[in-house]
Structure 1
Amino acid sequence: MGGSKTSLAFLVLLLIGLLSGTSSDAHSLSYNFTINPRPRPGQPWCEVQGEVDQKVFVSCDCDRAEIKYLSPLGEEVKSMNAWETQTGTLRDIGDLLKEHVSDVTPERHMVTDPLTLQARMTCRCEDDRHISGSWQFGLNGQMSLHFDSENGHWRVDHPGGRWMKEKWENDRAVTEFLKKVSMGDCPAWLQDFMVCWEKMLKTSDAHSLCYNFTIDPQPRPGEPWCVVQGQVDENVFLSYDCGGAKIQSTSPLGEEVKATHTWEIQTETLRDIGDFLKGQLSDVILEKHTARGPLTLQARMTCQCGENGHINGSWQFGLNGQMCLLFDSENGRWSVGHSGWSHMKEKWENDRAVTDFLQRVSMGDCRAWCKNFMVRWEEMLKSTASPTSGPPAVQPTATAIGFTIGIAVGVAAGFGIIILGWIIYKMR
């Protein structure tokens, strides 16, 4: 009997180890493209910024051969082959977007105003090795069109995206290219990078809350001067304009929390942030835009809720969709992602009122909202992360290997359960 108990204990431990080995962290890789068809002298026509789990790690322009790292995450993987193979693919994406800028202009820009096209490619590796990919497109910082690479569906998020949708959803070459890079190349890079990033990004139950602000000092008639979009784990759940009385729910995640007190108290804080950004816009204009022409200021506030209760926060700032200035709310440090923003960095980092405000709303208000919303969102986000359809048509080899390993582990665990049941039966 003693030997049977020992065997039983061993098998229980083995089974626990097998079952725990089937779970892993979910991570996302994003690339933000800004295409300027008429750049100023000395400025690139295409700029790209890469993020992992909403943390910036790389930047490049489509004409240069070298990609620059912007953080310890970038420095950790800059010597890998995947780092180099990004260059050609990112340039190809830039060329495609530049070629199709004319497709998106007729609806919003019949005049000769300068504009920039933004695109955001995201791929996500879920806990069960499932891969998902998506794209967002917009003009001058206002994202208006969404493409789900997995099912090929297009969705208009703003009236400005209707023309793009009509053009691109019927263009087989465009949709196939978007699927290939977001479901093939991007996941392959993420799989390779995660070999080095796993420990640096170890936040298995962490969630991120993000608010994207677009400030237009000279809006067209009927358009708001400030638009806010809220996201949790990169899932959009609200929209708001700073002059409106109510925040609008844009998904089931928003519907789940719109009756809470936290939902309502966001309104005043988001309006305060909008007013603050509008007040700072004149300083940015003096540095970046001496010539006439429309521009929009973007700001992105993010707070991440860690599994141990730890909260970190950050800000990104940019013009016309190109994020150029980063602020780490936790340690109060500023970093420049584009050389033209050095003056703004010096100005804001020496302005105690600015830094205190940014830290308070990202580490205080955002943290409280994240904590309160997660009471209702925890189960919904788990189901959102799980696959809702079959495996994607294009998957990197590393993903297929991981999937095969998962099956093997599952089979081994199944055998363990059978053996455990047999031993328990014999001990009766």
Structure 2
Amino acid sequence: MTFQNTKAFAQQLDAEDPLSKYRDEFHFPKVNGKKVIYFTGNSLGLQPKRTKAYVDEIMTDWAELAVEGHFYAHKPWWDYQERFANPLSKIVGAKPSEVTVMNTLTVNLHLLMVSFYKPEGKRFKILCEAKAFPSDQYMIQSQVKFHGYKPEDAIVEIQRREGEHNIRLEDVLAKIKEVGDELALVLIGGVNYYTGQVFDIKTITKAGHEAGAKVGWDLAHAAGNIKLELHDWNVDFAAWCSYKYMNSGPGNASGCFVHEKHHHNKELPRFAGWWGHNKERRFKMEPDFDPANGAEGWQISNLPVLSLAPYLASVEMFDEIGMDALIEKRDKITAYLEFILHEIDKEVDSTFEIITPLAPSERASQLSVFLHGEGRKLFDYLMKNGVITDWREPNVIRLAPVPLYCSYEDMYEFGQVLKAGILNS
């Protein structure tokens, strides 16, 4: 398709967009009395309007039933998390038994590493990406220290080549081969939070297994954003937050995946709790832990249903739409945003460098833009004029055109505000 940098063309794209109706399903903040152009769904998704009904339902059941709500609520609390299995499995490409919801992202990664980071002899190293999100860096450092290793000995980081913004797949594969039989675990973010680079999860997982390592993924920026086939790709484990692309609310519950090949291994170490115990015998209060089959066997405590309610509202919306439809719009609206950036770049004689990979297969709903010659002043102008975006040092703005609620007209209007901000600086 040949794009045009006009409001009429953008409005035409919106009129043809089968997902455009979902924009009205979300609450938008306002600046100067007008809905914002919201580009930070990669940090915190907007609130779906249907969320309130899901939360109110639990509040009503709590008020009217109290403790009996565990079994007699409209959606009984004791098995509330089971409602996620089918819709969430479709989002991440898993079997229903391989997914569950619990805790928060880093907590789940720590718990999963209890099972899947088992250093022994010379096989003790963890491979990760350089400049991963700090939470992952701190988690991995603390894990290797817990096992008695020094981070500088046990952690191997895949570096970007000098002068490049993204990590090359061939460098990841070469490093896996180089570390070889010293490699215990590969743990990488599926989508790099800073650049928006999408990693080849299938190929990297296969290479890690060929080296004899376990392979896990932090899918914070991937779940609900990219096409995932965790079961078919033979991923050992994964976890993700729910409040970015899946719009469950700030700091909300995390999802996790454990491949079915590990489900029947009751000798696999884990930190146990009663909610992970055999469901049929949970209330018998038995002294010995008998893990439930599937990912639910990694649960520890009963689930915070008030936190799960917004997440359930969201995953049911995803189930209505399907990931294929979301990805189709994601690719088109991201391409249109890229076009708008280049058009404005030419009009103002500035220099924008998109550091996100240009190939659709290597990017998702994010363009990270290096503002050469511009600075924080331009970011502040955007924010004051209704464009909610994200600033990262030294001079990068991250733009996430989330297909659920961003419109093509948003992309056009953003270009006009961007142009005005540069010309007024």
Same fold (TM over 0.5): no
Larger of the two Rg values belongs to structure: 1
Normalization by structure 1: what TM-score? 0.24
Higher strand share: 1
